A and B are shown apart, each in its own frame.
Chain A
Amino acid sequence: MRYLFKTRYEQDLRIARQPSDLFWYGLLLAVMVVFPIVAGEFYVGEVAGVLIFAVAGVGLMLLTGYTGLVSLGHAAFLGIGAYTNAVLLAQGVPFAITLPTSFVVTALAGIAIGVPTLRMSGLYLAIATLAFGSIIGNVFSKWNSVTGGFDGFPVQTPTILGFRIQGANGIYYTSLVVLIFVLWLAANILRSPLGRAMVAIRDSEISAQSMGIHLAKYKTIAFALSAGITGLAGALFAHYVRHLAPDAFDILLSIQFVTIVFIGGLGSIHGAIFGAIFVRLLPQAIAIVRDDLPFGIGRMPGLEPSLFGLFLVLFILFEPGGLYGRWLKLKQYFRSFPMYKGSTFKRQKAYAKSERLR
């Protein structure tokens, strides 16, 4: 590990930790802006999908990676955001209003589910969100007058400041702007008292509480924020798919979101991006090798979810830091080239910590 020697508090609060960060992220941004001009439409569309999943990934990362709560119903929040956006657009509300509205509506839904469950241990949240996701999925398919049921719901092309956002390029740039906004938001939250409180809750609820952090309040705020950001991703997702179908927002999508967070690397914003790239590219990779796999494995009906499950299990057992943790190790290996110590990143020995009295 290379440690930065900080001499002032302002250094600790900076978004760019060292000057070279600004250069590299600026370069990345420039590449992202130029990308649609050089790449074909198919690739632009695929990368737009990655960007949308990265937005949702950042939302879930705030919850799972930084507050230590797991949600198995984030597909429902994506759906709520998507339907809010699409239904309001169909009513003639401008896109500049529907996008923030889908954030607010989804965050309110998050509060509604968070208030009763977050008083209990984090386990109950996982179970309750699982149930919530299944209820919302049913609502989407049964509430014909609003969502169109199984016929689906066509999404109108949005207009912002006179520009029609259409085609792969339109959705690509919109998603890029939203992703940058969300990343900026997340980075700011994490260096504010709210973010510190979230990390404290993740590391130990009891010690957080004794430092004066109101557990239920901060957990609910974190959950609402996470849901709201996922709602933003949902609004973009509506334009990405252009025709909403209720069965898109099922438990498998929720599992994909959780996979983003776990495979990307818990507790790092970078991880959400890495995870989104992985989760979006895996189906493409399967599609490419599908016909070459032996024993007809490629034609197996449940192939994708089981591969996600397999990667989840392997990462939790062998690389809890996720892809980002692996990347840090690789960087460290080359930085300290002949002197790399494997034990730098060794998983701390842990023993069962009871959450019960006794």
Chain B
Amino acid sequence: MQDAARILQLVINGSAAGCIYGLVALGFVLIYKATEMVNFAQGDIMMLGGFAAYTFIATLGMNYWLGALLAIGATALFGYLLDVLILRRVIGQPQFQVVMLTLGLGFIFRAAAGIGWGYDSIAFVTPFTNKVVRAGGLVLGQDNLSIIAGTLVLCGVLYVFFSRTRLGIAMQASSQNQLAAYYMGIPVRSVFSMIWAISAGVAAVAGILLSPVSMIDVNMGGIGIKAFAAAVLGGFGSIPGALVGGIIVGVVEQLSGYYLPPGTQDVTSNVVLLAVLVLRPQGLFGQTIRKRV
């Protein structure tokens, strides 16, 4: 009984961490589905979102909810400008050019954040910090529960947006077939920029939700590698796959941290990633399609 409760607790904490991976992976997938680019700077955009929230909430003393909203908006605007000013120029170049470009941008963001906010870990007070919920034999941190709840809410909002609104449907259309969407009068280029904005906004949500659990610092973009494991596990290109993959990676990581010798937890996500590539390269939800000439 005691053991079952402990495993349940590990699973819930793991799911919370996994939701963060899933949200970052969601950012990759949204951009990949639309533009076939992979944004290696997604983790660093999440870091910028966290720092933006810190500025609004801790430095300017705003209300948590208002500050979080402003931070999400600011990061989304940043993502929009990133596409308009930089990434639009490399459309049509080989894929690895984009990989290197975003990787380089990630290092620049880190340096910029270091200059702007310093290299120390910082945190701001949220309504969930240091509060726990006791249910049955379980002791769960509200911060972890807030991550799960926030992810669920965000997914609901995104689902409604993509299936019910004009803009969302236009986005789906442009990622399915650019040319056809263009003929239907959809401004494909600015739709892509808006997808970058949404993806950056999602990353900012991840950064804000993560801040009470682990503090904000310049190197938190390293989560991006774990999010890759989540995205590949879900079959790069599937939105529910990214979230499910994220949760699986998070839970496996928690359990391996508990049952396996210390140090293995760091590489769990990488091992999962390589194992998926060996055993089921199309991922859980992906479909392999061949290109017609």
Contacts and interface: CB of A to CB of B under 8 A. Distances in A.
B289 A128 contact: no
A317 B86 contact: yes
A283 interface: no
Given A206-B293, A350-B92, A306 B101 contact: no
28 contacts: A122-B96, A123-B38, A124-B281, A126-B38, A126-B96, A128-B273, A128-B274, A130-B225, A131-B273, A134-B266, A134-B267, A135-B274, A255-B107, A300-B111, A301-B114, A302-B119, A308-B107, A309-B103, A311-B104, A312-B101, A313-B101, A316-B97, A349-B92, A350-B91, A352-B35, A357-B289, A357-B290, A358-B177
B108 A306 contact: yes
Interface residues of A, number: 55
Interface string A320-358: 100000000000000000000000000001111111111
Contacts of A350: 91-93
Contacts of A308: 104, 107
A313 B108 CA distance: 9
A127 B281 CA distance: 12
Interface of B: 35-36, 38, 86, 89-97, 99-101, 103-108, 110-111, 114-115, 119, 176-178, 218, 225, 228-229, 232, 236, 263, 266-267, 269-271, 273-274, 277-278, 281, 289-293
A26 interface: no
B36 A69 contact: no
Contacts of A313: 86, 101, 104-105, 108
A207 B86 CA distance: 31
A320 B236 CA distance: 28
B291 A131 contact: no
B166 to A, nearest CB: 23
B99 A123 contact: yes
Nearest to A130: B225
A117 interface: yes
A131 B228 contact: yes
Contacts of B291: 206, 354-357
A317 B90 contact: yes
